[in-house]
Amino acid sequence: EKGLRVSDKGFLNTAVIHSQITYIDGEAGVLRYRQVGYPIEQLALHSSHLETGYLLIYGALPSKAQLKLFESEVMHHSIVHADAENFFRSFRYDAHPMAMLTSAFAYLGSYYSEANPSLQGQNLFTKSDPASLANMDKQIYRLIGKATTLAAMAYRVRQGRDFVTPPSGLSYTGQFLYQMDHLGQEDYRPSPVLEKALDVLFLLHADHELNASATTVLQTGSSLVDPYSAIAAGCASLYGPLHGGANEAVIRMLISIGSPENVPAFLEAVKKREKVLSGFGHRVYKTSDPRSFIIRKTADEVFKVTGKDELLETAMALHDAAIKDDYFVSRRLAPNVDFWSGLIYRAMGFPYDFFPVLFAVPRVVGWLAHWRQMMLQEGGVKIWRPRQIYVGAAKRDYVPTEKRE
């Protein structure tokens, strides 16, 4: 095939789009959303997840009025149809919450035909038509607002508890924690420290350029399927232990190591490729993942409320040994966003298999930012259809069954 160039396995160093959304400098360990401010630290300190979501999706920090409208629309759309209860109750009692959430996003799309180009036979979202932009915004509000509710429903059904509708006036993470942890106490309110810590974690997980799940959303969305189905596809990609499932894998790894004394033996097993050091390494960051430093600091804030996690000593021993060990240094492997986050979620009482859900929920704003950018791109949407280099069998004739050995 003339003119075809094979990109390395796993799209290594293959740029497939131009984007204005997130900037990463893997060598310098820099992450910037829409190049606002200094690296991610500034947003983590001063912004909120929803304000950052607005920035990612619409390209600029919102005015006070724009933020107020965005927040109220998202919170207004956080309610789901009552039938969703039957949907969640249809799962086996021990279904993985990421399987539930992935399915739930696609299920959600079945309610909104106005968002479904397949039903309308055309691309519904065009920059020039204000009505179509308003339609797009409404789907964006719905997906962000309902992501926490769907996640909380997956959690409640796993805990064998009824679903709860949070009171109005709570923050995005406040209403999420309320739905998760409310056990009938009249005046229950989540801890403000945990609410803020979860908002910082959500903000840090909001977007990360063209990672595997964002690419999946764009690959799927390029066929003009509805945004709910495209987000469901991204959620499926994030479920994997090489991607968003790593935060769950880190905790299981720390439990299996057991204590700081066992760290050297574990690292030897990793070097023999018998084990994987989850939470380390990154396709783009080759010096450090700036998010991991902020999450490490946030962990100390959370531990002041929840008490220190006994796995922290093992995690610190593992971290301190690996960052000095030539095997990892020579392969430029540093802690990534997943190394410390699981300790926070465990200290906050979330079940381990719920950790990837806590990655997927905030990542919805990043996926939507990429999806909206593609829908509104100059020249319209082109379906993503990569080529291949055929290296299979040469031409040969059909052999009837009776003549085959």
**Which residues contribute to the site for ligand SDX (CB under 6 A)?**
10, 208, 211, 242-243, 246, 270, 276-284, 331, 333, 336-338
Q: Annotated catalytic sites, by residue? A: 243, 282, 338
Cα 329 to Cα 55: distance, rounded to the nearest angstrom: 35
- Closest-CB residue for ligand SDX? 281
Cβ(206)–Cβ(232) under 8 Å?
A: no
Identity of the residue, 77 or 208, whose beta carbon is nearer to ligand SDX in the bound complex: 208
Residue 161 or 243 having the CB closest to ligand SDX: 243
Q: Are 182 and 152 in contact (CB under 8 A)?
A: no
In whole angstroms, the minimum distance from the beta carbon of 6 to ligand SDX comes to 16
Residue for token digits 């009482």?
A: 349
Q: Which CB atom, from 10 or from 386, has the smaller least distance to ligand SDX?
A: 10
Phi, psi of 20 (to 5 degrees): -110, 10
Apex CA 172: angle with CA 166 and CA 175, to 5°? 20
**Nearest to ligand SDX of 5, 272 (CB atom):** 272
Q: Which residue has the tokens 């095997």?
A: 327
CB of 264 to ligand SDX, least distance (A): 15
Helices (H), 29-129: 41-46, 49-58, 64-76, 84-89, 97-109, 117-120
Considering beta carbons, is residue 98 or 246 the nearer one to ligand SDX?
246
Q: What is the CA radius of gyration of the chain?
A: 22
> Shortest Cβ distance from residue 135 to ligand SDX (Å)?
28
Q: Minimal CA–CA distance to 169: which of 43, 260, 78, 46?
A: 78
What span, in angstroms and rounded, lies between the C-alpha atoms of 169 and 190?
Answer: 13
Indicate the helix (H) or strand (E) that contains 31: strand 30-33
- What is the C-alpha separation between 360 and 244, in angstroms, rounded? 7
Least distance in angstroms from the C-beta of 279 to ligand SDX? 5
Q: Which is nearer to ligand SDX, 47 or 336 (CB)?
A: 336
Nearer Cβ to ligand SDX, position 149 or 216? 216
Q: Tell me how far, at minimum, the Cβ of 336 lies from ligand SDX, in Å.
A: 4
Residue among 23, 57, 26 at smallest CA distance from 40: 23
Report CA 64 to chain centroid distance, whole Å. Answer: 27
* Shortest Å distance, C-beta 216 to ligand SDX: 11
Quick one: how many helices (H) and strands (E) in the chain? 18, 2
Secondary structure (3-state) at 363: helix
**Which region, left, alpha or beta, applies to residue 188 given φ > 0 means left and ψ of -120 to 50 means alpha?**
beta
Candidates 136, 134, 147, 124; CA nearest to 74 is 147
Q: How far is the CB of 242 from ligand SDX (least distance, A)?
A: 4
